[in-house]
Structure 1
Amino acid sequence: MKKSILPVLLFAMVANVLYAKKNDSSKFYKKEMQQLHSAIEKNFHDHASGYYFVELDPTKRETKFGHRREYSWLWALCAMFEATNEVEKVDKKADLVDDIFKSMQHYYDPAPPKPGYGEYIVSLSRGQRYYDDNQWIGIAALDIYGRTGEKSYLDLGKSMYDFMMTAYDTTLGGGLYWRENDFESKNTCSNGPGVIVALKMYNATKNEAYLDTALMIYNWTNEKLQTPEGLYFDNIKTKDESIGKAIFSYNTGTMLQSNVYLYEITGDKKYLDRAIKIADSSLSYFYGSGKFRDGYWFNAVLLRGYQHLLKYHDDLKYISGFKKCLDNTLNNEKNEQGLFSDGNGIHNLVNHGGMLEILARFAELERHYDLAD
């Protein structure tokens, strides 16, 4: 009997070892996420003031409007707001988003026509209010509301919707401007996320007016700024309708995810087909070289679209193509502090917020998919 039990025990021991190794490898990105968050807090968070630094290198912090702008722009806190929400999805014990939200209150500017958030700490140097910055806040707030049910974040999303709609007029047939009191251009970076804010408000309230707004902005953006391949140009000038032809991953990402949301809401397969076309074009354009073409945060926004698309199009090729670029970055761009450059030695908070979101999303993906090469 002892002889018969011995092989069973050996098999169980080997199985446990193999399971432990598999379980450990399935948490690779979660560990990277946790390490990066610690590095951000250590290197970018000025605990004396409570603010975050904009750049790691003090010599690269700007002086503008007579003030040395050493602290973070709002944009970087927008990146951290969404990233910490994704961290909380992976690490149920984390309690991070409320603190980032509190940090953002230093940027709150209640000026008419609607309250919003300014580009910099208002008490130090009031500057522009960017519609896209406020939309990123709205998107993150509504994500948090969807996860937690906390009504204060639904109210924040509604406030960001109200502010962004002050950017709308009928010049060029519609669309939203990029920043307040600047009527030079209408940009994909303010229209793509505008669609998502409106769609998320519709999902939260079922008020058809939000869906109507989303479709209006969506159709305008496709008409004015989509490339023949399904990607998106940066902007259109109001003076002569000339196109700013830069192509960034985040612009493609918001419009990709807009199509996925519209498919969820309407059930109309044309939106899923459009999402797949955009994903296919973006995969070769942005990730075909095995290296990120633009900043980490820009890529985080496109990853949102890829991850969302997986719910309805079970093909891991988009995630796999993205993963090659991510792993290349982890292997070659991370320094001894656990921080990243963009290939030019630049270490700033917005890109670290973007990388934190990417790692959190991959930590979630590795829980559900085999991401092995």
Structure 2
Amino acid sequence: MRHAVRLAVTTGLATLLAGSAGAVPAAAAGTWKDRATAAYRSLQEHLYVDPLYQENYPKQPADNPYSYLWPYREAVTAALSLHEAPGDSPVSRRDLAARFAGFDAYFSGTPGSAGYQSYVVPPLGTGGDLFYDDNAIVGLEFVRGYHATGDSRLIPHAVDALKAVERGWDNDPSRPCPGGEKWVESANNSFRAANVTGLGAQLAAHLYLIRHQRADLDFARRLFGWNQRCLRQSAGLYWNDISYDGVVNETLWTYNSGAMIASATLLYRATHDRSYLREAVAAARGALDYWTTGDRLYQQPAIFNAYLLNDLLLLSSEAPDARYRAVFERYAARLWSENRDAATGLFHFQASGGGAPDPANVPAQTLEQSAVVQIFAALAWSPRDHWRIA
């Protein structure tokens, strides 16, 4: 149930747009900042439950008192993304500190299985499974927080998350396409997944650039190489997973495209090997060619598209291309016009996580409301800050 959105069937958005590289026009950036602010205020009004968030608004009968870790992480990302957009912000440094402190509610220090669990641990909750992709994205958020604030106390938390991800590497040489990252720390796990493998590579590369430990770089390369070798469908597109018996799940998601674009960009920074940058550019081109065909981008979960946008903007800090922003401005404008409830300021999507609201009146979610804040805020960021956006 926690990851039900990942089971949805994909289809996606619009036409590739061209433009000239350069600074974001002030009026356009201001518009997106205003929209991000409005969406954030609605998030706080309807979904914030001090000190965390609830899953849905209105709250559903089966909901827990608090959200799972994944939505909470995205609410933190929304706050940081809006805080870092130029101009006055409704998110203070004190707010940010409180959001990052909230991650402690999900952390278990149990020896041998330490890491961020999927649900709040005692005393606020009962805890939950440890998902390796959750730990990768939480680690990435601590890295983003460090770059935004310069607070080195955030880095040990990112390292804790990376240690959990490292346990997810599959060491069984008898598997088809040996290696790769398992999804969940459980004897019931039966596959290796593109998402955690790409996101883990992104986190390890970031930490190498911060603490210069060769093991981080080696791990990032190993993860990146496995996705390229075992799950790459074509430039910029990655199948979702491969089972222990070799069956490939050929579902495509935008965030799998994004994680590998970001990983290649960071590996280029770490090694100065231009083949990584060429791979990132080719992946971005391939991803956009696919996701802007028909309605594919719009039908993807907004949270996955938020990842892809940030990852493309990260790449643009090394190889500028105005298409990245142009495509997502069009997508974001559609979200504002088709998915927003003007009465509440909340954004509603199909039960699958993408597209316009369905007749069943699916509740607004912390996960997707946070995604919209992230997308609008990213479009307001100054290009000079894109080097640390993902």
TM-score normalised per structure 1 = 0.85
Aligned to 2:10: none
Aligned to 1:121: 120
Aligned to 1:332: 338
Query: Is 1:363 matched with 2:374?
Result: no
Cα gap change, 1:97/1:211 in structure 2, threshold over 3 Å: closer, same or farther? same
Cα gap change, 1:51/1:268 in structure 2, threshold over 3 Å: closer, same or farther? closer
Query: Would you say the 8 A contact 1:58–1:70 is kept in 2?
Result: no
- Measure, in 2, the Cα distance between the counterparts of 1:92 and 1:198: 33
Q: Secondary structure of the residue that 1:183 maps to in structure 2?
A: coil
Q: Secondary structure of the residue that 1:178 maps to in structure 2?
A: coil
Q: Superposed, which structure 2 residues align to 1:104-115 within 5 Å?
A: 104-115=103-114
Aligned to 2:138: 137
Deviation of the 1:154 alpha carbon: 0.7
Which amino acid letter does the alignment assign opposite residue 70 of structure 2? W
Q: Superposed, which structure 2 residues align to 1:249-268 within 5 Å?
A: 249-268=254-273
Q: Superposed, which structure 2 residues align to 1:143-222 within 5 Å?
A: 143-171=144-172, 172=175, 173-181=178-186, 182-222=188-228
Q: Secondary structure of the residue that 2:250 maps to in structure 1?
A: strand
- Measure, in 1, the Cα distance between the counterparts of 2:27 and 2:265: 33
Cα gap change, 1:254/1:366 in structure 2, threshold over 3 Å: closer, same or farther? closer
Aligned to 2:30: 27
Q: Secondary structure of the residue that 1:177 maps to in structure 2?
A: coil
TM-score normalised per structure 2 = 0.82
Unaligned runs of 5+ in 1: 1-21, 63-67
Give the aligned length.
339
Query: Would you say the 8 A contact 1:120–1:127 is kept in 2?
Result: yes
Q: Superposed, which structure 2 residues align to 1:195-344 within 5 Å?
A: 195-238=201-244, 240-289=245-294, 292-336=298-342, 337-342=344-349, 343=356, 344=358
- Measure, in 2, the Cα distance between the counterparts of 1:297 and 1:45: 18
Deviation of the 1:112 alpha carbon: 2.9
- Deviations along 1:99-156, one digit per CA (max 9) or x if unpaired, are 2122222222222314211111223232211111111110010121123221221111
Of structures 1 and 2, the one with the larger relative CO (CA 8 A, separation 6+) is 2
- Measure, in 1, the Cα distance between the counterparts of 2:88 and 2:308: 25
Aligned to 2:40: 37
Cα gap change, 1:232/1:25 in structure 2, threshold over 3 Å: closer, same or farther? closer
CA RMSD of aligned residues (A): 2.1
Query: Would you say the 8 A contact 1:175–1:191 is kept in 2?
Result: yes
Which amino acid letter does the alignment assign opposite residue 40 of structure 2? H
More helix per residue: 1 or 2?
1
- Measure, in 2, the Cα distance between the counterparts of 1:208 and 1:107: 29
Deviation of the 1:258 alpha carbon: 0.6
Query: Would you say the 8 A contact 2:317–2:383 is kept in 1?
Result: no
Which amino acid letter does the alignment assign opposite residue 345 of structure 2? G
- Deviations along 1:194-241, one digit per CA (max 9) or x if unpaired, are 001110110111111110111011111111111034301111101x11
Query: Would you say the 8 A contact 1:54–1:76 is kept in 2?
Result: yes
- Measure, in 2, the Cα distance between the counterparts of 1:366 and 1:146: 15
Which amino acid letter does the alignment assign opposite residue 230 of structure 2? K
Unaligned runs of 5+ in 2: 1-24, 350-355
- Measure, in 1, the Cα distance between the counterparts of 2:215 and 2:383: 38
- Measure, in 2, the Cα distance between the counterparts of 1:314 and 1:268: 18
Q: Secondary structure of the residue that 1:191 maps to in structure 2?
A: helix
Deviation of the 1:362 alpha carbon: 0.6
- Measure, in 1, the Cα distance between the counterparts of 2:247 and 2:136: 25
Which amino acid letter does the alignment assign opposite residue 41 of structure 2? S
Aligned to 1:10: none
- Measure, in 2, the Cα distance between the counterparts of 1:136 and 1:247: 19
Match of 2:368 among 325, 342, 351: 351
Instruction: List 4+ stretches of structure 1 deviating above 4 A.
Output: 22-25, 365-369
Query: Would you say the 8 A contact 2:108–2:114 is kept in 1?
Result: yes
